[in-house]
Amino acid sequence: MPEEGPTDPVDEPQQRELPESWEAATSYHRLKRQLPPPLRAEVRERAVRAILERAQALLRHASRPTRRVADAWPAEGELDLDATLDQPRPWQPADLHLERIEARDADVVAILDMSLSMTGPKIALVALATAILHLRLGALSVVHFDTRAATLVRMGERIGPEELIRRVLEVPAQGYTNIEAGLNQGKAELRRARHRERVAILMSDGIANMGAHPAIAAAGFPRLHIVQVGGEEKLGTETCRRMAQAGRGRVYRAPAYEDLPAVVRGLVRDLFR
């Protein structure tokens, strides 16, 4: 009877039960290198569902940002009695002041640090934060960077949140941290913006080990907010402060990646206040 040879370690994930729910999201980055295509696709879709469900739960009582718009007859809206009564008499049709609520539209680009230090749980949480932005805004451009930068979702490209999450999960997370490249890629996307309100949101620890100082590239943004993730590292904190100052934005602190989704949710609330 022939002796059995050692089990190939690459086959081990096939012999185990595939991860479910949030475990699928946090382990996908590791397992996608080991699983054959059909099983890899199954774990990825489980991860996508888990991330989307968590994003929807975090936004359960949130609505899309709106604004009040003042107008005059014959535009649509409800009568603004006080503004109308302030008009001199006799009133003309154009003196009828109206008010309506509209969705507040802005062109937003998310700039994601996806360099080598990103592990499976971190990637899942970045995907979750990005999904929150997409669900709140309705549309979102996304770029990522490591040694180089690339666009995941072009400005004006309409995709669903599931596809957005898939694209983030498939980023390899490798290379150095070139924040300058990510900022320049983000600016290139904002140049294609259609709305007057244009905002960039950078998620990073602020520690660059490649490229010029990020504050130089930050100066070209109409508005750049920084979500600094991680501990109070002096160099990263100072870099984030200078980027936000140059980009006329604010620094938001997420002490750990687990805090990132809630911080991003608060950022969007502040953004459209």
Q: What single-letter amino acid sits at 12?
A: E
Structure tokens at 94: 């154009």
The predicted model gives 253-262 an average pLDDT of 96
Residue 269: pLDDT band by 50, 70, 90 thresholds? confident
Using alpha carbons only, give the angle 115, 177, 132 rounded to the nearest 5 degrees: 55
Instruction: Tell me: pLDDT of 7 over 80.
Output: no
Parse the chain into domains and list their residue ranges. Answer: 17-58, 68-102, 107-271
pLDDT at 199: 95
Task: Share the mean pLDDT of the chain.
Answer: 86
* 111-168 pLDDT tens trace: 999 999 888 899 999 999 999 999 998 889 999 999 999 999 999 999 999 999 999 9
CATH number of 107-271: 3.40.50.410
Nearest 10 degrees: CA dihedral of 134, 261, 56, 25?
100
pLDDT at 66: 53
Residue 187: pLDDT band by 50, 70, 90 thresholds? very high
Structure tokens at 22: 């949030």
How far the first Cα of the chain sits from its last, in Å, is 75
The predicted model gives 57-68 an average pLDDT of 67
**No. of H helices and E strands in the chain?**
10, 9
- Please give the model's pTM, rounded to 2 decimal places: 0.81
